Amino acid sequence: MELVVFNTSGAETGRKVTLDEAIFGIEPNKHAVYLEVKQYLAAQRQGTHSSKGRSEIAGSTKKLKKQKGSGSARYGDIKNPVFRGGGRMFGPKPRDYRFKLNKSLKRLAKKSVLSQKMRDNSIKVLEAFNFDAPKTKEFINLNNALGFEGKKSLYILPEANKNVYLSSRNLAKTKVLTYNEISSYDLIHAGEIVFLEGAIEKFQENLKK
């Protein structure tokens, strides 16, 4: 399985990179993808929601009326949850929503997404490039040259590049990450995936571990 390498002008360079069929050519496992996306989204939750129970409400603890003889239900104090302004029963409390998944399952999820993207012809390989300074306009020109105008795109770098990252930061539909920062959510969310020439080998090695 091979992909042509493009230059920053959107033209083919004549070079090709070899892709591992065990990564880019498997039968997608939808449940594995679902679990990793669920884990990613759960980790984004702040979990700071909180409500006050009856012990946290400011108010008198005096019993409102005598226990018996009124002909109605028993009353406690004004902080009882059944009264307006009382504490909340079984309300939310701060918690951590994160949960763990096996590394092998997370690798399977990434392989499944990449295999589907390959079937959809949504993966490109781009020769290495750099910007002398952060310039959003240059990144827009790159997107247009690759035919990504109006599309969501994910650029995967072999290593951190500050100028490339800052050039893309203001583009709502473009995201730049290094090969070891990728999650299945990032891959699914991107309409087009662009591997820099040096990143594709490192990414494949990373998924074989």
Strand, helix or coil for residue 62: coil
pLDDT given for residue 75 in this prediction:
87
> What is the maximal distance between C-alpha atoms in the chain?
95
Q: Interior CA angle at 194 toward 189 and 198, to 5°?
A: 130
Question: Tens of pLDDT along 53-101?
Answer: 999 999 999 999 999 998 988 889 999 999 999 999 999 999 999 999 9
Is the pLDDT assigned to residue 107 strictly greater than 80? yes
pLDDT level of residue 11 (50, 70, 90 thresholds): confident
**Pairing of β 123-126 and β 153-157:** unpaired
Task: Supply φ then ψ for residue 73, to 5 degrees.
Answer: -65, 160
Q: Where are the domains of the chain?
A: 2-46+101-208, 51-91
Residue 105 pLDDT grade (very low, low, confident, very high; cuts 50, 70, 90): very high
- Measure the CA angle with vertex 115, ends 150 and 144; round to 5°: 20
What pLDDT is recorded for position 197?
A: 87
pLDDT at 162: 92
Over residues 132-141, the mean pLDDT reads 90
What is the average pLDDT value for the chain, to the nearest integer? 91
Task: Summarize pLDDT for 137-189 with one digit per residue, the tens.
Answer: 999 999 999 888 888 999 999 998 899 999 999 999 999 999 888 899 999 99
The span from the CA of 168 to the CA of 52, in Å, is: 44
Amino acid 209: pLDDT: 65
Summarize the confidence of residues 115-144 as an average pLDDT: 90
Rounded CA separation 114/108 (Å): 10
Exposed/middle/buried for 75, CB within 10 Å: 0-12, 13-18, 19+? Answer: middle
pLDDT > 90 fraction of the chain, expressed in percent and rounded: 58
Do residues 119 and 141 make contact, with C-beta atoms less than 8 angstroms apart?
no
Indicate the pLDDT class of residue 123, thresholds 50, 70 and 90: very high
**In this model, does residue 40 exceed pLDDT 70?**
yes
What pLDDT score does 165 carry?
92
Specify the CATH architecture of the domain 2-46+101-208. Answer: 3-Layer(aba) Sandwich (3.40)
